[in-house]
Amino acid sequence: MVNPMLKELQEVDEHTIGVAWELGKRAESTSYPRVSSLAQLTERLQKAAHAERERLLGYFAGERLQGICAYFWDPKERYAQTTLFLIERACYCDTADGFLSVLRSHLEGYELLIGVPAANQRAVSYLENRGFACVEASIDTRWRGGPLQQPRPAIGVESITEADFAEYAVFHDRYALPLEMYWHSRNVARELERFRILAVRQHDVVRAGICARTYPGGAEIVGLFTDEQNADVIEALIQSLLQRLYQEFGALNEVMYFIAEGSDLELRAAQKAGFEVHDHYRCYRRLL
């Protein structure tokens, strides 16, 4: 390793899990994606330690573990992202510098994304001082069950299948590419079986759509796009998606939906459908 205080962790023991859990609970030391249980945290740590394109790092002061970084990379996209960036506040700069040094030597030329809660001002200040740009400021909302709202029948919402995905993809990329989203149509197509996509047409042309990536026990809305800011259409898309997910999978643990700050129509529509504000998210990006 570049730094003798840094170690690649190839096994995950109870001590590592315990430190990660404590750091992850505190706003001043946690990161995104947040973890909601020890079981979820343990699974994420184990995956980072053993998956082919993931890595788990620990930063030690003597025998004391004071920072944990897990990350993955996508060679096709030249893209990397942390899944854990947990660092004690008192030693934030040295620990984060150590992690970035390893990432730079491993993935030079990649774009790195690091997500943190807005409340972690130590992380926000550090990342901005190190040349990272804030590329997303979102409201993290979650739906965890409750009555399903009925969309207005006058708004025809249809499912997008593999057969008509190419047509939808043109509409999707009109928004996803300028926003530099990871889930542009090419990457969605790589995992199309995991996505549920709904659309609204006008005169046989897609004018609005919602795209959600499913996983065991839940889903994440990765994009909601409309040609016109119409509250009824936005509400219909969100409500129809929740109904579709319930019909296919039954009760889910949660559905995540990150809404750009200032997108008041989306936020009101999500809250009307039963989503609640969970946190405020910042995503930072820099070329390694």
Residues 208-232 as b/e (b if ≥16 CB within 10 A, e otherwise) read bbbbbbbeeebbbbbbbbbbeeeee
* 24 and 105 assigned to the same domain: yes
* 199 and 168 assigned to the same domain: yes
Q: Mean pLDDT across the stretch 257-261?
A: 97
Between CA 211 and CA 206 the distance in angstroms is 13
Identify the CATH number of the domain in which residue 12 sits: 3.40.630.30
Where a domain ends, among 72, 98, 131? 131
User: What are the strands of the beta sheet with 6-8, ordered from one edge?
Assistant: 6-8, 54-61, 64-74, 79-87, 111-117, 276-287, 133-143, 254-260, 218-226, 205-215, 195-202, 157-160
* 156 and 273 assigned to the same domain: yes
164 vs 149: which has the higher pLDDT: 164
Where a domain ends, among 82, 102, 131? 131
* 48 and 127 assigned to the same domain: yes
Which residues form the domain of 23? Answer: 6-131
Q: What is the pLDDT of residues 68-78, one digit of tens each?
A: 999 999 999 99
Q: In this structure, is residue 285 part of a structural domain?
A: no
- Identify the three-state secondary structure at position 166: helix
Q: What is the pLDDT of residues 9-51, one digit of tens each?
A: 999 999 999 999 999 999 999 999 998 899 999 999 999 999 9
Is residue 2 scored above 50 in pLDDT? no
Q: Which two tokens stand for residue 150?
A: 């009925």
Angle in degrees, 0-180, between the axes of helices 38-50 and 14-25, rounded to the nearest 10:
120
* 156 and 109 assigned to the same domain: no
* 154 and 91 assigned to the same domain: no
Q: In this structure, is residue 1 part of a structural domain?
A: no
* 104 and 233 assigned to the same domain: no
Q: In this structure, is residue 286 part of a structural domain?
A: no
Q: What is the pLDDT of residues 210-250, one digit of tens each?
A: 999 999 999 999 999 999 989 999 999 999 999 999 999 99
Q: In this structure, is residue 138 part of a structural domain?
A: no
* 259 and 181 assigned to the same domain: yes
The helix (run of H) or strand (run of E) holding residue 242 is: helix 231-249
Q: How many independent structural domains does the chain possess? A: 2
Q: In this structure, is residue 287 part of a structural domain?
A: no
* 21 and 121 assigned to the same domain: yes
